[in-house]
Amino acid sequence: MKLAMNFYKKAAHGQTVEIENISAVEMACLEVVYFLNKPTYSELAEFFNISQPNATYRINKLIKKGYLTKFNDEKDKRVYYLQVTDKFMDYYCLNDNYINNIISNLKKRCTAEEMEQFEKTLKILTKEAME
């Protein structure tokens, strides 16, 4: 969620995002693959409520860009699992560390009461963004 909020904030202001040629939809797809932990094509399509061909198209674009890989199920070679690559994880960790540093600096500057209010506000923002 931290990565998405940072990405969408930059995209809304027309700022360049450090990850090359990735749309907001593709970023969401990458995050979902990461959080679902090696989903199949079908599981990803079901999560987004999109057709299998649409999911396959999006997945293949991300594989071509080097942000996703696919691998076969050992028992059923027709089933493919998806996994984010180190290229994605490098970006994800960079942004996660950046946001953690900001939070750490806020904790040094703000009172416990201010931090509590800030966390409540973030929860509301996150909930609104997810609806």
Q: Which fold, 2-130?
A: Arc Repressor Mutant, subunit A (1.10.10)
Q: How confident is the model at residue 39 (pLDDT cuts 50, 70, 90)?
A: very high
**Spans of all domains in the chain:** 2-130
37 pLDDT above the threshold of 80: yes
Is 40 in a helix, a strand, or coil? strand
Structure tokens at 120: 């409540």
CB-CB contact of 58 with 64 (8 Å): no
Confidence of residue 8 (pLDDT cuts 50, 70, 90): low
**Rounded-to-integer distance, Cα 88 and Cα 8, Å:** 16
CA dihedral 15, 32, 93, 85 (to 10 degrees): -100
pLDDT at 127: 66
User: What's residue 75's pLDDT?
Assistant: 93
* Contact (CB, 8 A) for 67 and 87: yes
Question: What is the pLDDT at residue 17?
Answer: 46
Mean pLDDT over each residue of the chain, to the nearest integer: 81
How much of the chain exceeds pLDDT 70, in percent?
76
pLDDT at 122: 78
Where is pLDDT greater, at 38 or 100? 38
Q: What is the pLDDT of residues 53-108, one digit of tens each?
A: 999 999 999 999 999 999 999 999 999 999 999 888 877 766 666 677 777 888 89
Contact in structure between 44 and 59 (CB atoms under 8 Å): yes
Closest CA to 35 of 77, 83, 95, 105: 83
